[in-house]
A and B are shown apart, each in its own frame.
Chain A
Amino acid sequence: MSEAKLYTHTIRAGSIKENDEQLSRNTLFTDNLWRGAGLALVIIMWQVGVSVGWINSFLMGSPVGIANEAWRLIQSGQLLNDTVATVYATVVGFLVGSILGSIAGLLLWFSRTTARIIDPFVVALNGLPKIALAPMIIIWFGSGMFSKIMLAFVATFVVALLSAYQGTHQIDRNLINLMRSLGASRREIFTKVVAPATLPWIISAFRLNIGFALIAEIGGEFISSDRGLGRMIFVAGNLFNLNVVWVGVIMLMIVAIVLYIIVSQVAKLLLPWEKGQK
């Protein structure tokens, strides 16, 4: 018999630290600390680099320059005007496109034949980068707000339609059979099973669509517009005013985050049954 070594490891009560919840709260705090520190470091290095002359502020902009431009644009009210214009066109196009798209996708559940016939067209439209339609849409609807709304609408409609339609396909057959055995009509099956079961899919399309709507709206402003953050960025870029470009970009980021948070909160309200579910 070979000699065997015996190892011992004892786990005592309390020797394994944490409580998951405690852990996640602490983690969130330290994570945020690191994030803030990292960001501050980049900004400071950037400014120092510009001051020392290692970084070309004409091509890169500078934190101080960005802050000055931001302050000027806030005071003149231009930043607010442009932000409102962009948010307005994005949100209206996004809402109309996402809602109508979702409804259309849901209604396709009623007619498999229609769904089958239009399927290749929908797939083709979905694959098309919607920004390619911008020149045409601007020719048709002008360079004002309405063409931007239309662009955001086009960018979100197909995504919402496809997502809702796919959602109706994922419904548990057994739920529909249960409804049938209870004597439910097709309309009742639609309102009581299909629509609520598809809601999570619709919501996830809404989340994606915020990004798509913003891309289309800003793209439209780049091509032709009279106001908006996209126009501000585009014009400043042409004038090599990089600090203003940065102001626009940062403002757009804030807009995107705020819109995303709003949609997430609305989603929570609309899906109360998913609260606390794994």
Chain B
Amino acid sequence: MNLPISSGRLTDPTIGMPQFRQSVITLDGVKKTFSSPGAEPIEVIEDITLDIKQEEFVSIVGPSGCGKSTMFNIIASLLEPSDGSITLQGSDPNCGARIGYMLQRDLLFPWRTIIDNVCLGLEIQGVRKARRYEMARDQLARYGLADFADQYPHTLSGGMRQRVALIRTLITDPDLILLDEPFSALDYQTRLVLEEEIVSILKEHHKTVVLITHDIGEAIAMSDRVAVMTQRPTSVKKIYDVGLSRELGSCLKARSDARYQRFFDSIWDDLDIQIDGGAA
């Protein structure tokens, strides 16, 4: 069984990714230790070294409790690494690349209507009201949400709210999109549909994506590459060149491909998940 494993760089030409693209985000020896006075410092991230190129879809999969939210906050530039560096390259003169993100919870503001939620980023960027409404209506119509523009979020279903959250993220045109278990609160069918939708939308917009998840299947179905993390203090254990959805053109097809199960089994082994407190 030979699964393509790489060392953090794109090497496999069969997955159809153009070579020598520019890096969007480079994590180099990123380390994070939390210390509070009077307590033992907690090392959450030991070492993450990862290079993510333009238009790539990379998933980070780790066992639960491996410090996923810390990784998320570091990649989203909300938290500083204790050691190592992160380099962002993109359209923003101040911080390199602009990052948009989407979480498990949609984080729509309950006091804003759908259209005002979508406009949030544009509003902060100072886009004029008429212009941003036009843009937002455009996008909402495109994803079949035009009728809900003036409703409040609580009237929408979980799947629809996640779509709105995605539009809100995309409308500001960020260089990197960071997804943190965006589907885990949804039912299985909605999840499969949204997976498909999001991958095609993001490809269409030529977006670079990092997905942080504990769902191995989701990672394999959507990604070009999957980075498997170790237990805490976490580091990159292996990187798989998957690329099934890119090659086959669909996440559902990727899920029914013979290689899907092989990747799944292999990643499952890597995660070394122990059932019943280690008495395996």
The DSSP consensus for interface residues of chain A is helix
A34-42, A150-158, A177-185, A234-242: which lies at the B interface? A177-185
Interface string of B75-105 (1 = CB under 8 A from A): 0111000000000000000000011110101
Q: Please tell me if the beta carbons of A178 and B107 are within 8 angstroms of each other in the complex.
A: yes
Instruction: Out of A182, A197, A275, A276, name the residue touching B121 (CB < 8 Å).
Output: A182
In A152-186, which residues have CB < 8 Å from any B CB?
172, 174-175, 177-184
In the complex, are the beta carbons of A182 and B152 less than 8 A apart?
A: no
- Interchain CA distance A197-B112 in the complex, whole Å: 11
Q: Which residues of B contact A274 (CB under 8 A)?
A: 110
Question: Which one of A182, A188, A272, A274 has the highest number of Cβ atoms from chain B below 10 Å of its Cβ?
Answer: A182
A181–B110 contact, CB under 8 A? Answer: no
Complex: A186 Cα to B38 Cα, angstroms: 32
Cα of A196 to Cα of B98 in the assembled complex, Å: 26
Smallest CB separation, B180 vs chain A (Å): 10
Of B99, B105, B109, B153, the residue contacting A181 (CB under 8 A) is B99
> Which residues of B in the span 119-166 have a Cβ within 8 Å of any Cβ on A?
120-121, 123-125, 152-155
Count the A residues whose beta carbon is within 8 Å of the partner chain — how many? 24
Beta-carbon contact of A182 and B105 below 8 Å:
no
A278 nearest CB across to chain B (Å): 8
* Min distance, Cβ B198 to any Cβ of chain A, angstroms: 18
Contact with B along A237-257 (1 / 0, CB 8 A): 000000000000000000000
In the bound complex, do residue B154 and residue A276 qualify as a contact, i.e. CB atoms below 8 Å apart?
A: yes
Determine if A177 and B111 form an interchain contact, defined as CB atoms under 8 angstroms apart.
no
B73 to chain A, nearest CB (A): 8
Structural contact, A174 and B121, CB atoms closer than 8 A: no
A140 located at the interface, meaning its Cβ lies under 8 Å from any Cβ of chain B in the complex: no
Chain A residue with minimal CB distance to B105?
Answer: A174
Decide if A277 is an interface residue (CB 8 Å cutoff). Answer: yes
| Nearest CB of B to A28, in Å | 25
In the complex, the answer to whether B99 meets A277 with C-beta atoms within 8 Å is no
Contacts known (A181-B77, A181-B100, A276-B154); A174 close to B125, Cβ less than 8 A? no
Task: Say which residue of A172, A177, A272, A277 sits within 8 Å of B78 (CB atoms).
Answer: A177
Q: A181-B76, A199-B111, A273-B110 are in contact. Are A174 and B124 (CB under 8 A)?
A: no
How many residues from B make CB contacts under 8 Å with A? 25
In the docked arrangement, what's the CA distance between A142 and B77, Å?
59
Residues on the A chain within 8 Å of B49, using CB: none
Query: A182 touches which one: B110, B112, B124 (CB < 8 A)?
Result: B124
Q: Provide the residues of chain B in CB contact with A182, threshold 8 Å.
A: 120-121, 124-125, 172
A193 within 8 A of B: yes
Inter-chain CA distance A276–B153, complex, in Å, is: 12
The residues of A that contact B112 with a CB separation of less than 8 Å are 273
Q: Mark A186-214, 1 if CB is under 8 A from B, else 0.
A: 00100011001101000000000000000
The answer to whether residues A196 and B172 also contact, given A177-B76, A181-B101 and a CB cut-off of 8 A, is no
If the complex has contacts A182-B124, A277-B154, are A175 and B101 also in contact, measured as CB distance less than 8 A? no
CA gap between A24 and B76 in the complex, in Å: 49
Chain B nearest CB from A194 CB (Å) reads 12
27 CB-based A-B contacts, threshold 8 Å: A172-B107, A174-B103, A177-B73, A177-B76, A177-B78, A179-B124, A181-B77, A181-B99, A181-B101, A182-B121, A182-B124, A183-B125, A192-B120, A196-B109, A197-B111, A199-B111, A271-B111, A273-B110, A273-B111, A273-B112, A273-B152, A273-B153, A273-B154, A274-B110, A276-B154, A276-B155, A277-B110
Binding site for B on A (CB under 8 A): 172, 174-175, 177-184, 188, 192-193, 196-197, 199, 271-277
- Sort A-B residue pairs by CB-CB distance and give the 8 closest, nearest first: A273-B152, A196-B111, A182-B121, A273-B111, A184-B124, A182-B124, A277-B154, A273-B110
Known: A178-B101, A193-B109, A274-B110. 14 other contacts (CB 8 A): A175-B107, A178-B107, A181-B77, A181-B99, A181-B100, A181-B101, A183-B98, A184-B124, A196-B109, A196-B111, A271-B111, A272-B152, A273-B154, A277-B110
